[in-house]
Amino acid sequence: MKTAKKALKLAEAFEIKDGASFRLKDFDPADTQGIHSKEKAAELLHESTNMLCDLQEKLYAQDEWAVLLVVQAMDAAGKDSLIKHVMSGINPQGCEVTSFKQPSTEELNHDFLWRAARRLPERGHIGVFNRSYYEEVLVVRVHQELLAKQHLPSKLVTKKIWHERFEDIRNFEKYLSRNGVIILKFFLNVSKEEQKRRFLDRLDEPEKNWKFSEADVRERQCWDDYMHAYEELIQHTATPEAPWYVVPADHKWFTHMAVSAAVIHALKNLDLEYPKVEKDRRKALETARITLGKKPKG
Ligand code: ATP
Ligand code: MG
């Protein structure tokens, strides 16, 4: 209970349910909400991992709700390690992670939500999108030549296209939420300075070299365009049914804790229970026990 309350407080600090007045500059990438010790954070993360396991078991057994976690960030903000930490310990059978890369020819031949719709979590499952349909109003907006590859009828490509996509995304998420999909969206808010430090680490430390890509440095040159795109998309797609969490990402330990808190809080709100065993079913279970050689109960 104590953990749930702490989770609620932590999650609320970064939650945006109405983007109208959202400004990125109001969110500090180095914020740790007054928690200064990594050890304290590790303790909290351990507690919340246990809690998440328990909640996921119930989600799976109940088989009604599905949970979709969308993770968006600039390079080196820590998407991969976040997913690894937050999902550690949960049952892999009830969880799928999809990484969205540059779209294939087949994907480009469909509407922009098509490939995401095919990877949505089924009831009882947690789906994690490592990048998502939000790339369609991020990288595609920053590099508009990508839009030309999408085979859209030219009549439909106007100045309004980004706002139309915001609207389509809002409608898609509303539709999902009406079908029992709980949607939580995380923007890992890393600072430009911290990104540089992490890139340099990747260059300096041999075991991190594999993570380095020249393309990441090129994208960094478009930093301001990306920040503008993030700010606008959050303003237009943060809703009560699909909130954004603008999570400080300069300290990875804090990112993990804050995301875990938001997930726990959302699952707690569902009042998940194991399915009730009806009287007839209980009788059948008792018969099975006896068949297995046990004495009748009571
Ligand atoms: P990591 O680098 O940790 O493996 P990543 O998510 O950065 O993870 P990459 O393969 O480096 O993976 O990059 C994927 C690239 O695909 C990103 O540059 C992203 O912007 C791009 N991408 C994703 N979705 C789309 C899309 N719909 N249209 C165009 N590009 C996209
Ligand atoms: Mg990358």
> Which residues partner with 126 through β-bridges?
67, 95
Do residues 68 and 133 lie in contact, with contact meaning Cβ atoms separated by under 8 Å?
Answer: no
Q: Tell me the C-alpha distance between 116 and 176, whole Å.
A: 12
Q: Which ligand is nearest to the Cα of residue 100, counting in written order?
A: 1
Q: Is 146 in the pocket of ligand 1 (CB under 6 A)?
A: yes
**Ligand 1 center to residue 139 CA distance, Å?**
9
What separation in Å is there between the alpha carbon of 234 and the centre of ligand 1? Answer: 19
Residue 1 has pLDDT above 60, yes or no: no
Distance CA 33, CA 56 (A): 27
CA of 134 to the centre of ligand 1 (A): 11
> Model confidence over 273-285: pLDDT tens digits?
998 889 999 999 9
The two tokens of residue 71 are 């993770």
Which residue, by CA, sits nearest to atom 7 of ligand 1? 75
pLDDT digits over 32-48, tens only? 998 887 787 788 888 88
Question: Which pLDDT tens digit goes with each residue over 48-101?
Answer: 889 999 999 999 999 999 999 999 999 999 999 999 998 888 899 999 999 999
pTM: 0.94
pLDDT recorded at residue 22: 98
235 to 18, 27, 155, 244, 252: CA distances (angstroms): 7, 14, 27, 10, 25
Q: What is the C-alpha to C-alpha distance for residues 227 and 85, in angstroms, rounded to an integer?
A: 26
Whether residue 295 has pLDDT greater than 80: yes
Give the position of tokens 């979590």. Answer: 121
Q: What is the pLDDT of residues 121-169, one digit of tens each?
A: 999 999 999 999 999 999 999 999 999 999 999 999 999 999 999 999 9
pLDDT of residue 4: 66
Structure tokens at 175: 């539709």
Would strands 244-248 and 181-189 be described as parallel, antiparallel, or unpaired? Answer: parallel
Q: Is the CB of 100 under 6 A from ligand 1?
A: yes
The protein residue with its alpha carbon nearest to ligand 1, atom 29, reads 102
Q: Find the 101 Cα to ligand 2 centroid distance in Å.
A: 9
